[in-house]
Amino acid sequence: MMLRYERERWEAEAGVLLAGVDEAGRGCLAGPVVAGAVALPPGLAEALYGGELAGLTDSKQLTAARRGHYFARLTATPGVVWSTGCCSAREIDTLNILAATHLAMRRALEGLAQRPGHALVDGLPVKGLPCPSTAIVQGDAKSFLIAAASVVAKVTRDRLMCELDARFPEYGFAVHKGYGVNAHMAALFRHGSCPEHRHTFRPVQDADQRLPGFGC
């Protein structure tokens, strides 16, 4: 029941505009962390859940094609309020990844055209959000709105990483999106890091120490 938490909140607070929030890219070695926020009124959420967005779930469980399909439907449907918030690799290095993730979530919620009265957040509680919130562990697989936010975050971030691939083609960002897969690690140790790498992350530091003068 992907609308369980939403229905509970609507029953507790009639008429509230409810948003889901999730992030993408927290565990990567390069690129921004991106949060998505999606807000829906109850009637539209119920209609989409049983119709055009039936089958929507955690973006990690969907193929790229399915994520693209859901993203297109979400962003083109009248009444769907959505936004993204980013924290750059430099901000991640300055703040730490947890604080940067929370800041990206706050930016995503603040970017919504309509301020929600409550937010469902994937994972553990997040302080500093612009509205009251409920944290749901593995919420992207349990909440329709969080799943929608996860798709918005993931598709947006993947597109940003493809743009970075055009600037730094030696790393293969378009393929692995900045995660620490073997091909990415091999490129790091061959070329050193670039400005879009997270230089406080140990694998990036290790690569730069092996190649003095290449780190940025």
- Residue 138 burial (CB < 10 Å; 0-12/13-18/19+)? exposed
Query: Which regions of the chain carry the CATH code 3.30.420.10?
Result: 4-167
Q: What is the pLDDT of residue 211?
A: 66
Q: What is the pLDDT of residue 29?
A: 98
Chain-centre distance for alpha carbon 23:
3
| Tens-place pLDDT, residues 27-36 | 999 999 999 9
Q: What is the pLDDT of residue 212?
A: 57
Average pLDDT taken over every residue of the chain: 95
| Tens-place pLDDT, residues 65-123 | 999 999 999 999 999 999 999 999 999 999 999 999 999 999 999 999 999 999 999 99
**Mean pLDDT score, 197-214:** 85
Extract the tokens encoding 95.
Answer: 């703040």
Architecture of domain 4-167: 2-Layer Sandwich (3.30)
Map residue 4 onto helix, strand or coil.
helix
| Tens-place pLDDT, residues 138-168 | 999 999 999 999 999 999 999 999 999 999 9
From 190-194, 201-205, 206-210, the region with the lowest mean pLDDT: 206-210
**Cα separation, 88 vs 196, whole angstroms:** 8
The strands making up 118-122's β-sheet, listed across from edge to edge, are 81-87, 33-40, 18-24, 118-122, 133-136
**Cα separation, 173 vs 189, whole angstroms:** 15
